[in-house]
Amino acid sequence: MNAVERRAFAPLLGSVALLLGALAFQYLGGLAPCPLCIDQRWAHGVAIALGILVLVWPRRWLAFLAGLAVLTGAGIALFHAGIEQKWWAGPMTCTAPDPGAAVPAGDLLDRILETPVVLCDQIAWSWLGISMAGWNAILSLVIALLWFRTAMARD
């Protein structure tokens, strides 16, 4: 087993743990995901697939791609956490309308029908004052760094 294979285990298990944790919150905890939550999951799914490839065919560039995937997920999570904290506006399709904003009557029904049940600007769960999206951003950054460390591994 070479250095790339040895180092790939930690970030691969990290992505698996985050994805399984999100699914547990959804299916065991009853917290339905919003659209941005789903987008964050895709990044870890890609990293898991690439991580398995790294174990089968150890190439540093695959570990680098896995790191980029997780870094993208961290960016989405940070964007999501910012929306939850009202630091910036989120997509119109997954946030509550601004109560002071005027919405044309003809568009109101369309907006209501297009808005998902779970909104991106609502915090469903937090720990130590950090939302699930915030924790995902923090942990994803750590996992991305582990993937980049794996990509730089030398025998």
pLDDT for position 102: 59
Question: Which one is predicted more confidently, 101 or 72?
Answer: 72
How does DSSP assign 117-134, residue by residue? SS-TTS---EETTEEHHH
Spatial separation of the C-alpha atoms in residues 63 and 65, rounded to whole Å: 5
Q: What is the pLDDT of residues 61-70, one digit of tens each?
A: 999 999 999 9
CATH numbers and ranges of domains, the chain: 3-151 (1.20.1550)
Q: What is the pTM of this model?
A: 0.82
Give CA separation, 37 vs 56, 74, 116, in Å. Answer: 29, 11, 12
Residues contacting 4, CB < 8 A, separation 6+: 54, 58, 59, 60, 63, 150, 151, 153
CB 51 within 8 A of CB 15: yes
Banded model confidence at residue 120, pLDDT cuts 50, 70, 90? confident
